[in-house]
Structure 1
Amino acid sequence: MMKYVYLLLAVLFSLQFAVSAQTVKEDTYVDYNELLDRVLINLKKTQSEKAFVGSAELRNQTLALAPDSKAAIKSLPKPGKKELKGSQLFKARKDGVLMICKYFKAEEGKPERIQLYATATAITADGVCVSNWHVFMNFISFKANLPPADSLTFVVNLKGDIYPIEKILAYNQNADAAVFKINTGNDELKPIPLGSDLEVGESVHTITNPENYLYYYSKGVVARNTADHKIGPMGDRMEITADYAKGSSGGPILDDRGNMVGMVSTTHSIYAQNQPQGNLQMVIKTTIPVRSIRSLIQLQ
């Protein structure tokens, strides 16, 4: 009798382990290439359900916006207070990180295609997001020329849901920051709360989309806080050691409690020989502190 009991227990343990392993695999491993492949298909479906603002119209709207305008927002989520481990932080905040994509029409023998070119961060559930001024430069600067094949710019979340960009609400070139609104329909986003400025040596975390490496997590510290007094407060910058690369622009810099304390902006590579560039020694990661983002928001 005991033999059958032990056998039954062994079978139950095996089943439990198999279910547990499958759960871990589903939660931990994501086919990001498949996600990108679905974007074009989902775009076609979304276009039949929601109105998209074309690049030319979006630019006309933005050029009519006063440079000192602020984004009117009813409320922001309260900052988190509980310290999180890296794995907990990623799970808690990844859905608030978005991809900014462009749709290119077919031309000169090239098929229609989708290009992921930047990152954005949701800061309200109803679709207010932040990214860089340089990401939206073509819609803001009167000097920029819109590429003829650049027909649509939109946002995609981790599930592959597509949201049209409705309008840019506020921007500042010196701060390299822009606040914009997307059409979420009946969906609610999972916004990331804004935190406070950090001091040198404090921990930071990033979740960004460098060169199609979607939802890439990196951890580091604040290496230096700098200021440009010729520009004023909008020239403040926070340099960090957490890694990122092109495609990460607009991605959130998070503190240990998952609050957004900055935003990815630029990198500067230091070489041992500048002409030609050789023997890369160091890459400075320059980000926008949260104080600059807050300065573009007016709570109602």
Structure 2
Amino acid sequence: MVGPPKKRQKRDDKQEGQMPQKKFYRQRAHANPFSDHDLTYPEIPAAMNWGDHYPAYVATVPAAVPKDDPIATEDRNEYGVPRMTKQVEVADIGCGFGGLLFALAPKMPETLILGLEIRTSVTEFVQEKAKALRVQHSSDAAETVPGGYQNVSCIRANTMKFLPNFFEKAQLSKIFLCFPDPHFKARKHKARIVSTTLNSEYAFVMRPGGKVYTITDVEDLHMWMVEHFEAHPSFGRVEGDELEDDEAVKVMTTETEEGKKVERNGGKKFVAVFKRLEDPPWP
């Protein structure tokens, strides 16, 4: 007797441009960041092949140049990966099913946006959705949006271990930490995505004036994140009109899957934003 088709078969059955269905990509809500997840990561940022994720932004040599001509190598760096016309500037750490990514993409059409997610199936869902949206909103399609979702992608990564492997110093302008695992038990606090050590890594990859956006429905975690960012010399809290007028805050508050669930359940959302400060001059 033949049983129902497996999830992998159902995923593979969809046609080009067809949106993936979450029910075929379900996975546990959280993953242990200290476990060995058999991850692939570049030894340094220059060795990362971004061309597979943002093909529309790959720098190419003129078609008339013979492939055996030395100039044909100018579209690849010393690590053999394609040169890009843009760098990733926005990172959503723990992006889940990508609600924030796909809401930001048309609002920031000239900016490369990346989701980082540790769970295999969830990462694959976001990647497949990005591919489907690019097909649906291609230039010859009936409906288009700014950027056509060519500027959004997702990678499977453990940012607690490998964030500087992907991003150069001062590369990012925005980092989002949306509804991270609260790790309620005190002995688990070392696994929280905000800590003194991790904040220094965020400071390293962020340009001066860049912002870290945090949101959670757990007040204790919110207070933890505020305490650790305010205590870090590279960050200052954003408040007042600058916070109120920030479009990214509005999108983050309404467009993530967790945020929508909190809204449905009548819960509270705690938001805090922190700006990367200029480094003091060397004495």
**TM-score past 0.5 threshold:** no
| TM category, shorter | under 0.3
Q: TM-score, normalised by structure 2?
A: 0.27
* Structure with greater proportional helix content: 2
Q: TM-score by structure 1 length?
A: 0.26
- If each structure's strand is expressed as a fraction of its own residues, which one has the higher value? 1
Higher RCO by CA contacts (8 Å cutoff, separation 6 or greater):
1
